[in-house]
Amino acid sequence: MENPFVRKMERHVRLAPEDRAILDGLARQHIRHVAGRQDIEGPHTEPYHTHLILDGWACRYKQFPDGRRAIVALLLPGDLCDPFAFRRGRMDHAIGALTPVTVARITPDQIGDAVRGRPAIEEGLCREMLATTAIHREWIASVGRRSAIERLAHLFCELHLRLTWAGLADGTTLPMPVTQPDLADALGQTSVHINRTLKELRSSGLVILRSRRLTIRDLDGLRERGLFDPAYLQPA
Amino acid sequence: MENPFVRKMERHVRLAPEDRAILDGLARQHIRHVAGRQDIEGPHTEPYHTHLILDGWACRYKQFPDGRRAIVALLLPGDLCDPFAFRRGRMDHAIGALTPVTVARITPDQIGDAVRGRPAIEEGLCREMLATTAIHREWIASVGRRSAIERLAHLFCELHLRLTWAGLADGTTLPMPVTQPDLADALGQTSVHINRTLKELRSSGLVILRSRRLTIRDLDGLRERGLFDPAYLQPA
DNA sequence: TTGGCAAACTAACACAGGTTGGCGCGCGTT
DNA sequence: AACGCGCGCCAACCTGTGTTAGTTTGCCAA
């Protein structure tokens, strides 16, 4: 089983064997397990470590005083949280595990060492950050202007590609270990409506979601339904 | 009148006089004027230059095939668009002028030269990018979980701080040169509803918006109404 | 001054999506 | 086996926001 982080980085840049070894090393030290529904990094903390997700799904979220929760990003295996978090002081949001999660803790020094004299790694990390920002922009557009079905279809398409690139999708079938309330908080809706929308996607023959696995039955159809254009995810 | 870009950078890091001169130099070369409603950088182009907004307001936006437009970021004087855009290939969105705009075109080399041997500038640019990402996250939360009034109040609070830090606000009065349809596309609503919401904010005595200027009559009240916590904008 | 036009503003109506409340299943615990 | 409980699922109802179709205002140009 190959490291999903390395695998993803190789989509951005060509890595020499030593590059690969260095990145792989980051994923093998300081492993930490976090139970589902627990925070990996709480709100208002002053982060020092970066986290690399090795297994399970997590999210960035903001919680309002009255309890409303907005999930602003999904973190999948191979995703790196804030390589430069330590430069910003206090967290303005939290990072929580949606499922049981395995992460590697990485120090700023380790990032610095990995980058030094390794232009491919530097370039790869830079592109990874740009890709993350592009995803953020797409989410703003989604929540702002897509309808409920479009939003859900679009998210499924995005996750399909991201998981494929991390080596975690089985063709057109992907793990989908999150609950409907989680999807609701990610898409700015209620779980009830997510349920309705899911039913509609299912009955149009586009997807099957059962026992935490999503099967896309009609990829082109789903992409059309979600106004999905993979360009924003493509590196270069 | 001081350069809003330099002014903003000084919120992130302490700049030596030479740092300041270098940054100021970037803003004085290759000036370009763009009329309102024109694209500064079209969609699907392969950008080479970075743009620094010197005057006027612009936005990043995505447009769907059926015409719907989502504004995913507002660009104010002093804002730098994509210092690393050239690393990503094709644009996944467009940058458009909302008002007549003056920009400085900056090449990748110029960025490289400015950063080389100038750790304060490097650190400042890095923090500026992190702040931009934090704004993106806050927008996702806003469009996803805030009500219409909360969203508008929150946006006004954000713009108040950003413009203040760029030296463009007069205490609690700020330029607001965008139309209601523009606000609608930025907040994921219709212009009709923006109008309704504006009326409500006005009649609760929180703001006055007249002839392209916004006056905040009750800053604390507006912040409360918008669930606004300036933490996400604060550098370190 | 007048005319033209974009933008602000409004009213009436429509509907997507939120709210509430309830049922049943699967699963882990005792 | 029984219990608890989170989650998926559903129906009825409600409401915030969208839609449509105007009128009014303000500003620039002739």
Q: What CATH number did the domain enclosing B27 receive?
A: 2.60.120.10
Residue where one domain finishes, among candidates B128, B155, B190: B128
- Residue B115 and residue B9 share a domain: yes
Cβ-contact A7, A165 below 8 angstroms? yes
Tell me if A87 and B123 make a contact (CB, 8 A cut-off).
yes
Residue from the list A90, A139, A231 with its beta carbon closest to the beta carbon of B140:
A139
- Residue B57 and residue B124 share a domain: yes
Tell me if A136 and B138 make a contact (CB, 8 A cut-off).
no
pLDDT tens for each residue of A180-224 = 999 999 999 999 999 999 999 999 999 999 989 999 999 999 999
Check residue A222 and give its pLDDT: 98
- Residue B166 and residue B74 share a domain: no
Check residue B129 and give its pLDDT: 94
Q: Is residue A142 part of a domain?
A: no
Q: Which of B132, B143, B224 to mutate to test the interface with A (most CBs of A within 10 A)?
A: B143
- Residue A168 and residue A113 share a domain: no
Check residue A110 and give its pLDDT: 94
Arithmetic mean of pLDDT, A36-58: 95
pLDDT exceeds 80 at position A55: yes
Residue from the list A87, A140, A145 with its beta carbon closest to the beta carbon of B127:
A87
Cβ-contact B72, B139 below 8 angstroms? yes
Q: Which nucleotides of D are covered by protein (CB under 7 A)?
A: 6-12, 16-21, 26-27
What angle do the packed helices B17-26 and B119-145 form, to 10 degrees? 60
pLDDT tens for each residue of A156-187 = 999 999 999 999 999 999 999 999 999 999 99
Distance CA(A191)–CA(A181), nearest Å, equals: 5
- Residue B115 and residue B16 share a domain: yes
Tell me if B236 and A140 make a contact (CB, 8 A cut-off).
no
- Residue A208 and residue A120 share a domain: no
Residues of chain A neighbouring B70 (CB-CB closer than 8 A): 140-141, 144-145
B232 CA → D1 C1’, Å: 53
Q: Is residue B219 part of a domain?
A: yes
* Domain total of chain A: 2
- Nucleotide nearest A187, CA–C1', reads C17
Check residue B88 and give its pLDDT: 78
- Nucleotide nearest B211, CA–C1', reads D26
pLDDT tens for each residue of A91-146 = 999 999 999 999 999 999 999 999 999 999 999 999 999 999 999 999 999 999 99
Burial of A179 (0-12, 13-18, 19+ CB in 10 A): middle
- Residue B97 and residue B17 share a domain: yes
Fill in the DSSP letter of residue A36. Answer: T
- Residue B224 and residue B153 share a domain: yes
Bigger pLDDT: A37 or A235? A37
Residues of chain A neighbouring B135 (CB-CB closer than 8 A): none
What residues of chain B score a pLDDT lower than 70?
1, 235-236
- How far is the alpha carbon of A185 from chain B, nearest alpha carbon, in Å? 8
Burial of A104 (0-12, 13-18, 19+ CB in 10 A): buried
Q: Other C-beta atoms within 10 Å of A185: how many?
A: 27
B40 CA → C23 C1’, Å: 56
Protein residues contacting strand C, judged by Cβ under 7 Å: A 147-149, 188-190, 192-193, 211; B 179-181, 191-192, 195-196, 198-199, 209
Residue A235 confidence class, pLDDT cut points 50, 70, 90: low
Q: Which two tokens stand for residue A207?
A: 């997807």
State which residues form the domain around B114: 4-128
- CATH (domain of A198): 1.10.10.10
